[in-house]
Structure 1
Amino acid sequence: MTTAPDILSPEFAADPYSAYRTMRDEHPLIWFEPMQSYVISRYADVERAFKDPVFTSRNYDWQLEPVHGRTILQMDGREHSTHRNLVAPAFRGRDLMTRFVPVIEQNSRELIDAFAADGHVDLVRQYATRFPINVIVDMLGLPKADHEHFHRWYTAIMAFLSNLSGDEQATADGLRTKAEFEEYLLPIIRRRRDDPGDDLLSTLCSAEIDGVRMTDEEVKAFCSLLLTAGGETTDKAIASVMSNLVQHPEQLEAVRNDHSLVSAAFAETLRHSPPVHMIMRQPAEDVELSGGVVEAGKTVTCLIGAANRDPEKYADPDAFDIFRTDLDLGRAYTAGANHTAFCLGRHFCVGAMLAKTELETGIAQLLDAMQDIRFTDGAPPPEHGVFTRAPASLHLTFTPTA
């Protein structure tokens, strides 16, 4: 038997997928001392960690609260269901389509117009890292002049959350960002309560169920969570979807000719090369998983990137194929999905439909503006990251659409 991979090693960062195969086959349950966490990699185990109520999200008390405050992810039972019902309507159905799709379309178009005539672009720097954050700021009804503040805060918070090695500077920057974000947003929240508008922040401030409203601090924490969770997932997904499609020209042309296939390309990217590779849970009692027992109260790191390429779940799992038949597209953006990229069960990502709408809009507009897309350097860029993962840059050359 081989030695268990070190998930903080340069070798793992360069190619986690080879390590994932070794973990699934030989080390499905690892105690990883540097992170004080068990690590699980098989689909069945990760699915259980997301769905079984014995697995709590108490790990977020130390993982998220220092930079976000107490969020919906740390709630269980009635408190969780009430707060989820307070925020969920703004991210699905009629509200999303009528109020926010024009915001999404406009932000995407403005970014594309800035490079569409050039014939070349770094899609990460010039589009992907900007688009979702700009959308969130506009949805919240905050000034466009503050976009740069949000990009800086987003970067610092993500560095804190992905700081698996305990870098002190990243920790300090994240804590300082929390204080700056509170100083900025709490006065605005108080003003929106007194004088609400037709924006998401006003909706969050006024939402009420059975006499329960979110406090100012809870609204602020949700906005902070939305900034990072919504930004990071969509940012990296856009880069990975486009990189995957350019690597597979026949699939790219299929999506170009039928924009309804963008949803399939996004779903397959979530399975094949998900934006988030790790999510943690904490069992309330001893639990037996593949390879042994996890003790109550111990942190469990669920490897989404490994689970989503488990050959016990998918045929030819390392292949990118938007036409695969073992990925349920009808449920790909629901709590009953058969991939793990948005979690599953009660803590399924509340912003999944927002991300889907952004991807469908953005990829369609990009393909309409860019013909004959190819990698500028002739080869796909490498992915970067361990906690979250995607190309750090995506230099594309194209023919502008006349």
Structure 2
Amino acid sequence: MQTEKRGAPVPTGPPEPARGGRGAVTGPGAAAPAVPATPSLLGPEAARDRYGFYRTLRESYPLVWDGRLGAWLVSRYGDVASALGDPGLVRPRRGPCCWPGEVWCEGSPQEADDEAFGVLREVSERTAFVLARRLARREGADLAAEFCHWLPVGTAATALGLSCAELTRGSRVKGRRAGPAAALAVLCADRSALIGKALASLLANLLDHPGEWAAAAGAAPGALTAVWGESLRRNPPVHVVLRRARRDARTAGGTVPAGAAVALLVGAASRDPDRFANPDRFDPRRTAAAPLAFGPPDCPAARVAELQAECAVRALGDAMPRLRWAGGFRPTETGLLTRAPRTLLVRPAGRPA
């Protein structure tokens, strides 16, 4: 991890005599003098206001030992972006593909061609259309549970020739269909929960901004890339990526010692004002670099996630042009490592409560 040129406070955590220069610190286990209470990802401040907690970390604790979590917290964009590709920070032996920094499918025979993606697009369009039309007849609906969850699951199941129940029981490897599209569906089936969370955050952002919703719902195919990317930046589905330091790793706030656990806070980095102007604002017209939320754009599952987002917005906009929040409802994110609104209560016809 490279050091940012920015005034940083001395890192807070269990110290021992510095190694490797001023500001070097180590992990737990050393005899240490009393230190002020420090933030914890498991504490009440983070539970009450996650993004306010992230702001405190970036400004005052760019590197801090979280004793309750048992890991060093890294929160600034420069550090997190660098750390995700740092071979000195060990990934799980086999982690979840398409989390930030986890691209296990890269270079594998499961990479799919354009024809396979075309098949997945057709299946996603049909699935989104059916789900949206069913909800359009209702007085009220929960888009998170009744649409965002089922779109990725239904797409994968249909592409494999399985029922949704069979897919959720783990029968995807025994799908009734074969070929590149089926292989792509198998790859994406394990990412369905993550895609569903990203879809829920996308819809929350758009419905919070009726003008953006109207523009996105009527957009031409392929025109939602910026909207999708901005939603992934502002509300990434993965907030925390865990690593272990193989060797001492330098950050803006000091040095993580070899052997220590590290929590890379993607959710904090994605709202770093040193990288993004007005970072709390949802602004699809940003020109900043791509978000850290998924694997690289050519990762198969990340590509499928984006095409499903496009299918979702177009289907909902077509079936429910007056879609609005239910009276008095406000979406709220939940989760520790991954986060998204658990419910999205809407009135499909846009009628007042």
Q: What is the TM-score when the length of structure 1 is the normalising length?
A: 0.70
| 2:264 aligned counterpart, secondary structure | strand
Q: Is 1:105 equivalent to 2:125 in the alignment?
A: yes
Mapping for residues 305-384 of structure 1, pairs under 5 Å: 305-326=267-288, 328=289, 337=290, 339-343=291-295, 349-384=299-334
Counterparts of 1:134 and 1:31, CA distance in 2: 42
- Identical aligned residues as a percent: 30
Counterparts of 2:62 and 2:139, CA distance in 1: 46
CA separation of 1:31/1:343 partners in 2, compared to 1, >3 Å: closer, same or farther?
farther
Q: Deviations over 1:197-233 (max 9, x none)?
A: 33645x48xxxxxxxxxxxxxxxxx95x7434x2122
Contact 2:329 2:345 in 1 (8 A): no
* Structure-2 residue corresponding to 1:177: none
| 2:198 aligned counterpart, secondary structure | helix
Contact 1:4 1:22 in 2 (8 A): no
The letter for the 2-side match of 1:308 is S
* Structure-1 residue corresponding to 2:151: 131
CA separation of 1:296/1:308 partners in 2, compared to 1, >3 Å: closer, same or farther?
same
Counterparts of 1:373 and 1:380, CA distance in 2: 15
Counterparts of 2:331 and 2:341, CA distance in 1: 6
CA separation of 1:312/1:111 partners in 2, compared to 1, >3 Å: closer, same or farther?
same
Q: Is 1:390 equivalent to 2:352 in the alignment?
A: no
Name whichever of 287-296 and 122-131 sits farther off: 287-296
Q: Deviations over 1:10-35 (max 9, x none)?
A: 44133210000000111111222233
| 1:372 aligned counterpart, secondary structure | coil
CA separation of 1:282/1:87 partners in 2, compared to 1, >3 Å: closer, same or farther?
farther
Higher helix share: 1
Counterparts of 2:172 and 2:147, CA distance in 1: 26
CA separation of 1:344/1:8 partners in 2, compared to 1, >3 Å: closer, same or farther?
farther
| 2:258 aligned counterpart, secondary structure | coil
CA separation of 1:185/1:125 partners in 2, compared to 1, >3 Å: closer, same or farther?
closer
- Post-superposition offset of 1:261: 4.2
| 1:352 aligned counterpart, secondary structure | helix
* Structure-2 residue corresponding to 1:178: none
The letter for the 1-side match of 2:265 is L
Unpaired stretches in structure 1, ≥5 consecutive residues: 154-180, 205-221, 329-336
* Structure-2 residue corresponding to 1:286: 248
The letter for the 2-side match of 1:197 is A
Contact 2:135 2:348 in 1 (8 A): no
Counterparts of 2:250 and 2:285, CA distance in 1: 35
Mapping for residues 48-197 of structure 1, pairs under 5 Å: 48-57=82-91, 59-60=92-93, 64=95, 84-90=106-112, 93-97=114-118, 99-139=119-159, 141-144=160-163, 147-151=164-168, 181=170, 184=171, 188=174, 197=178
CA separation of 1:226/1:255 partners in 2, compared to 1, >3 Å: closer, same or farther?
closer
Give the counterpart of 1:236 among 197, 211, 222: 197
CA separation of 1:4/1:265 partners in 2, compared to 1, >3 Å: closer, same or farther?
farther
Q: What is the TM-score when the length of structure 2 is the normalising length?
A: 0.79
Contact 2:38 2:66 in 1 (8 A): no
* Structure-2 residue corresponding to 1:29: 63
Contact 1:233 1:275 in 2 (8 A): yes
Q: CA RMSD in A?
A: 3.1
The letter for the 2-side match of 1:96 is F
Contact 2:127 2:154 in 1 (8 A): yes
| 1:342 aligned counterpart, secondary structure | coil
Contact 2:333 2:339 in 1 (8 A): yes
The letter for the 2-side match of 1:118 is R
The letter for the 2-side match of 1:351 is A
Contact 2:75 2:266 in 1 (8 A): yes
Contact 1:13 1:385 in 2 (8 A): no
The letter for the 2-side match of 1:93 is D
Counterparts of 2:300 and 2:244, CA distance in 1: 21
Counterparts of 1:380 and 1:373, CA distance in 2: 15
Unpaired stretches in structure 2, ≥5 consecutive residues: 1-8, 10-35
Contact 1:32 1:38 in 2 (8 A): yes
CA separation of 1:198/1:344 partners in 2, compared to 1, >3 Å: closer, same or farther?
closer
Counterparts of 2:322 and 2:285, CA distance in 1: 22
